Amino acid sequence: MTKIELVFIPSPGIGHLRPTVKLAKQLITRDDRLSITLIIIPPRNDAGDVTAYISSLTSQDRLRYESISVVKQQPTADLEPSQVYIERQKSKVRDSVASIIQDPTRKLEGFVVDMFCSSMIDLAEEFGVPCYMVYTSNATFLGIMLHVQQMYDEKKYDVSDLDESVEELVFPCLTRPYPVKCLPHILRAKEWSPFFYTLARSFRKMKGILVNTVAELEPQALKMFTSCDLPQVYPVGPVLNLENGSDEEEKGSEMLRWLDEQPDKSVLFLCFGSMGGFTEEQTRELAVALELSGHRFLWSLRRASLDIRTERPGDFTDLEKVLPEGFLDRTLDRGKVIGWAPQVAVLAKPAIGGFVTHCGWNSMLESLWFGVPMVAWPLYAEQKVNAFEMVEELGLAVEIRRYFKGDLMIGEMEIVEAEDIERAIRIVMEQDSDVRKNVTEMAEKCRVALTDGGSSHVALQKFIQDVTKNVA
């Protein structure tokens, strides 16, 4: 029997690779007519987590992985944007697809590309098949991108050049006005906004968009996509990678055993993603807040990178010199300061009662899945939008403050004082708070969405039907 072949092209970032691979696995499990080839574009510079993950992928009968070869870039401060780097790989991706269609047992029926690989729609057109997109963030930020691009093209306003008198903008994907000063740097910066306008225009050309969200989580945002001039959106989330490899289990075994010994919902977990690191001054403020709060804690602490574009955050070499004098001794019985943490395994522990997060969308979905309320501390990319949505739209997180000045990607972050951090910690750890109740309810909705007849189950089935409807 000839298989219906889909070509997936994920972005090299680990936060994009993992959910895309997971989605591909869900699709072949759902329909045995489907065959999927993921064309892997390696990271442009050394990224250990990405390289290790790629090497762990093994091809099967209906799920294949093909890595293209690229010339490694020398790390510099002037790295080209991801979508430019990816677009330069078009010819090699074309060659990989050409080899796929030589197989008479596979019939190419579509491309499914990551948001940063949207220029690959040109290749889909060359091969005469529709192009769909995987959007690994949420429907709200997708809606904001499209709206901002539309306003620019209609010459109504340029979000990177707004007058100071404009304090709020109304977006159809939100129920309340959004503060202009809370817009992410990637939208406001003159050097970045043209790339995002180009991206958004390419999004509009897609046959459909698979979004890592849940219909019950973002009803207002998804309502925007009922418009006939926008692509069909499939809310298929939460797409989560919940399996821990044996290496991760072993590396995290000591901290996981410690969590097993703590009372339910008593430990605050602090973890800020692969790019999140802090200066010594910010580290001390956070330590003071943790000590004053009196709560148990598990703190994944990383040192801020001097330039996040060329170097990932690392571990502090001597915590005693960075943390307040005597901090580790005074908190020995109720807290642990660690480097790397197996985030999913930690969030799954009953002892975890709150999560201080950088507001990466994958992290937020994981926290919701396990029913853990969050403290929002956005650091870069679209995370300020994610924080606004979770705190003000949905009541699923607590804010440290409404506005964070700076962005890790430009190396400028204001210092958040211990007083603000401690207040947020106390609120999120309240056992009977509205936030905790809201998160518990949303966790159940997320789980139901993936069951037979649930909203995400139905959306994924609808995508499969759209892909296969013209196949004899």
Residue range 228-237, pLDDT digits in tens: 789 999 999 9
Is residue 96 a contact partner of residue 89, using CB atoms and an 8 Å limit? no
Res. 55 pLDDT band, cuts 50 70 90: confident
Amino acid letter, residue 192: W
Would the pLDDT of 143 be above 50?
Answer: yes
Q: How far apart are CA 468 and CA 472, in angstroms?
A: 9
Q: Tell whether the model's pLDDT for residue 268 goes beyond 80.
A: yes
Fold classified for 246-446: Rossmann fold (3.40.50)
Is the Cβ–Cβ distance between 117 and 85 less than 8 Å? no
Rounded mean pLDDT of 252-279?
A: 94
Residue 334 has pLDDT above 50, yes or no: yes
* Pairing of the two strands 406-407 and 352-357: unpaired
**Domain coordinates in residue numbering, the chain:** 3-157+194-241+449-468, 246-446
Mean pLDDT check: name the lowest of 3-17, 254-268, 304-318: 304-318
Ranges of H-type helices in 351-417: 361-369, 383-388
pLDDT at 131 over 90: yes
CATH of domain 3-157+194-241+449-468: 3.40.50.2000
Q: What is the pLDDT of residues 161-187, one digit of tens each?
A: 998 899 999 999 999 999 999 999 989
Under 8 Å between Cβ of 355 and 373? yes
Name 143's Cβ contacts closer than 8 Å, sequence gap at least 6. 171, 172, 173, 174, 221, 224, 225
Amino acid at 411: G
Chain centroid offset of residue 364 CA:
8
pLDDT of residue 13: 83
Return all residues near 241 (Cβ < 8 A) that are at least 6 apart: 18, 19, 21, 22, 344
Location of structure tokens 């518990």: 440
Instruction: Let me know if 284 is exposed, middle or buried by CB neighbors in 10 A (0-12, 13-18, 19+).
Output: middle
Res 447 pLDDT > 70? yes
**246-446 and 3-157+194-241+449-468 share a CATH fold:** yes
pLDDT tens for each residue of 19-51: 999 999 999 999 999 999 999 998 876 666 788
pLDDT digits (tens, 9 = 90+) for 69-125: 887 655 554 556 777 889 899 999 999 999 999 999 999 999 999 999 999 999 999
- What is residue 77's predicted lDDT score, i.e. its pLDDT? 44
Which burial class, exposed, middle or buried, applies to 183 when counting CB atoms under 10 A from its CB (0-12, 13-18, 19+)?
A: buried
- What is the side-by-side order of every strand in the sheet holding 296-300? 335-338, 296-300, 267-271, 352-357, 374-376, 397-399
What pLDDT is stored for residue 47 in this prediction?
63
